[in-house]
Structure 1
Amino acid sequence: MNADGVRDRARSLPREPGVYQFRADGTTLYVGKAVDLRSRVGSYADPRSARIRRMVDRADGIEIAVTDTETQALLLEANLIKRHQPRYNVRLKDDKSYPMVQLTDHPAPRIEITRDPDGEAQGTASGPTVFGPYTNKRQVETVVKALRETYGVRGCSDHKYANRDRPCLDHEMGLCTAPCTREIELEDYVADVTAVERFFEGEAGILTDPLRREMEAAAQERNFERAANLRDRLETVEAFHGEGGEAVQSVGDERAVDVLGVAIEGEDATVARLRAEDGKLVDRERHTLDAPGAAATGAGEIERGGVPAVLAAFIVQYYAERDLPDALLLPERHGDEEVAAWLDAETVSVRVPGAGREAKLVDLALKNARRNVGRRDECGMLADALELDVSRRIEGFDVSHAQGTSAVGSNVTFVDGSAEKADYRRKKLRDQNDDYDNMHALLAWRARRAVEGRDDRSDPDLLLIDGGEGQLEAARDALDEVGWDVPAVALAKAEETVITPDRQFSWPADAPHLHLLQRVRDESHRFAVQYHQTLRDDVSTVLDDVPGIGPETRKRLLGRFGSVENVREATVADLQSVSGVGEKTARTVKERL
């Protein structure tokens, strides 16, 4: 839209409070609230920043919704931002992109790490109990394993639980007390689950005390390696709930107090939230926000920038669907009159402590926020460079083979610039010395799984193909055939050129967004080569080096026994049952394997 178009649309709007949306091709670019819709929308005819000018130029229409009060406009804006995730808003990302710990809704609950908790009624009698989200998955895995070793909470599926007549290997390893076969009574098992819940609610001693006792016992028995391992695990568990024990006692008479800290780098922001209840720190979490224009200065909503803009956006979007605390401790004023009026009407005390124990809590929140900030900058830069709305989730693909044999494909996943190894996949491909056809088959496999709903992963924002124009064309042909509409680019190794369907990019060698693509490309290559070598080594090096075993005999052996491991365990008589294997060859196989 040009300036005249904005002015013409503004003249038709009422002078009432409400929400407006700039739209383009059916997509919401920006959502804003206004005390006076006509005046606020009209101000976009003369944007005060280059970013907003680009947004206005891109828009092809403006939609509005009139509300009765300014507070209604505030909450409607938050709901629309969460629903549409508009590119030009400061917006809170979905908590489900981070790992959480879930205790399932079952008579004998299981513990699991998940990014997509079951059901809507989390933490109620009719749903699972969920803790998090957390940002350090490795730390969460260490804590969950320690809890299972201490309290024996099961990790198996409900199907396996329901069909057991004897304890499984987890019970033998000390990871589960086996409520499935009543090695422990359900009442006692539930008590252990309750102890696990208390740990995640902030009672760290539930786990640290037994770990410390076990470590000290191992040291007294001079089992120093075991003691060192327990020490490392204890440090991880203690770090899980972090620092701040003394500062927690700072909260006054309010029962529930939330403390917010903000860190901004470029257009990436992190808000850390600490929750104190009855004087005890019970929860801490970090939330990533897209913060376009956050580093800018000046007046206006998204032009305002800085910590105040992030705080105002977070408070409304986060608490619009959650209970407000009795008090909010902030690092600085948010500066939004509508937000202030809403909090005041809800009787929430808002304070910016300058000293004392409350200030320690704010410092702790700031420290937590700074641990995470900046990790998504390269993702935003990549999205801008490729003219995508977002590039947080990237999947990389590569193929590997040896002269057409043991052909495999890799599919790796990166989220916010970090490898998401739980979402790695690999596939055996038809043996052929054709990289283009192999890439076509690999992408067709991935696309079909997505379109048919057989892949439990979220759709990516971008696909990265290891190779040049030929590999990219093969991949895009596969996507078109299956009907999976996801952007795809390639990264060629020779010149590190980024290839898109329309053009090629030669970015500077130190460009962060190029480094991101290189990491994804290199990891997909490593994962493919590793899988290929596994297959090649299992099939070739072990059996092909045995005198008297040629390709056809090898095929018959593997066809008869299914795997090299089964060949290794077979008797001489069993081996002789395979056509082409005599007694001498069978004994040679046994000796070599």
Structure 2
Amino acid sequence: MDGDAVRERANELPREPGVYQFEDGGTVVYVGKAVDIRDRVRSYADPRGRRIRRMVERADAIDYSVTDTETQALLLEANLIKRFQPRYNVRLKDDKSYPLVQLTDHEYPRIEITRDPDPEATARRGAGRGSGGRRRGPPRGDGGAARGNGGAVADSPNTRGPRVFGPFTNKTRVEIVVKALRETYGVRGCSDHKFANRDRPCLDYDIGLCTAPCTGEIDRGSYVADVESVVRFFEGETGVLADPLRREMERAASQREFERAANLRDRLDAVEGFHGGAGEAVSSRGDERAVDVLGVALEGDSATVARLHSESGQLVERERHAVSVPEGGDTNIDTRTGAVLSAFVPQYYAERDLPDALLFSERPDEEVLDWLDAEGVSARVPGAGREATLVDLALKNARWGASEPDALAALRDALDLDAVPRRIEGFDVSHAQGSAVVGSDVSFEDGSADKSGYRRKKLDDRNDDYANMYDLVRWRADRAVEGRDDRPDPDLLLIDGGAGQLSAAREALADAGWDVPAVALAKDEELVVTPRGTYDWPSDAAHLHVLQRVRDEAHRFAVRYHQTVRDDVSTELDNVPGIGPETRRRLLRRFGSVEGVREASVAELREVEGVGEKTAETLQSRL
């Protein structure tokens, strides 16, 4: 590829975090990660190094995979490099990877942090998805051959094999969480050698890290129930661990054990943040080494099916497939999506090995489900937890496969714009009864957030939404007309509100002399308000979804800034000795207002970081 070809291809890529691949005749020659895929790929149009220049000249195609976070991009890049061994990547020779958490398949499972879970599973990892010897493709009337487990007892944990969760990037946080799980549920962490032939509990039992199943201090049924609680936590149910930690922290604080309460608070912070991006866990049930995730994006008479593939709990592959959808039939989007999946699954797996489990964005036909069940494949539509997150990621990749450019073109046609609105700016105002009034201005490029283009503005305090919107849009328009804004002019302005807010915004544009089309999107009924009239588009319209994303992000950004400004306003707390800006902010966020602080007890006040007993008593007396 030459520089022009790279630039042309880059213009088609999303401005999202993810992974990109340079390919030569279908062979992956380079894998990279990026915070912004489009900008990163565009930089290869003029490579600086000789090695990268040779790689670009050799490549004939560029593929990509969208992720939700930079951390997911980092992990996926590492897994793809290990899988494809691209010649132009730097490759580690020791085959080490990110840490995982494993619950073993023993009668009394142990929990451990490892980089190589279960030697048998590791040996199978490179053998492909068909190492179990299962049939390919739909059955030919023989009902299929179901997978077996060697006659293991049905209620024993080892019928499932080990359960693996990960990979994780923050090993310290994983260690904190695993220790908290052991203290709460008493799951053993000792080796098989130490577990066997004991006649009295070890030190872990004395310090509360283990319930000592080795000497019968806990019955097997209770122990297995505790293990299942640990599994629920790693599958996304944070409260399984957070709730008992919070109760223990509150108990320690009420008993004036402040050092212990502070330690529990720090542990609670690590637990509550674990599923918010620090862990990036992908759960893997013990007998499900290979898991495929299918998401469908519909656009008229065509569809895109995205397939994510996970092996031993690690996301390692992503594909997109274009599918034709027959005209007519049911107009319900869920029914149509299920029909697409029902047609796709038997065709795709006719010449491929079936995975151990299939996760769907919508439920396929019963006939397909019966066939998968006969083949021993677990098929499900997850509603929450990490599996639901994987389905959302598959849907995101499917939409980027075809829908986004079409959605913007549909938006142009629906609003009768002169050009496709590739750059959209969204505006919203947030305040509390006219105080701490702020406005947000967010930017979207090709349907995706361009956070480098976000701006915010503190406005004059007044309880007038129309006047506030006029001031916000006028501020943006004046800067554009006078050349004081370094961002390109948008193709469309989206106002969060109804006809009144849109009228104020258009008045501001006219007064500033800035010629940019503007529409509004009202929250209650999702009506699109334009100068020509009001539109009630179908709830599944892709071009409506584009406007909703812009509107919701403008609202989120405005509310967050309003909270910051609200906490910064002068309050009675400023006159209390020992209360600085940070402590004042923590008090207001904890209790909501000065009145809430006034009504709090000394014990409740002391739960706030930076507030000791003397300060809490001073607060009560002064307020």
Q: TM-score range by the shorter chain?
A: 0.3 to 0.5
TM-score (norm 1): 0.41
TM-score (norm 2): 0.39
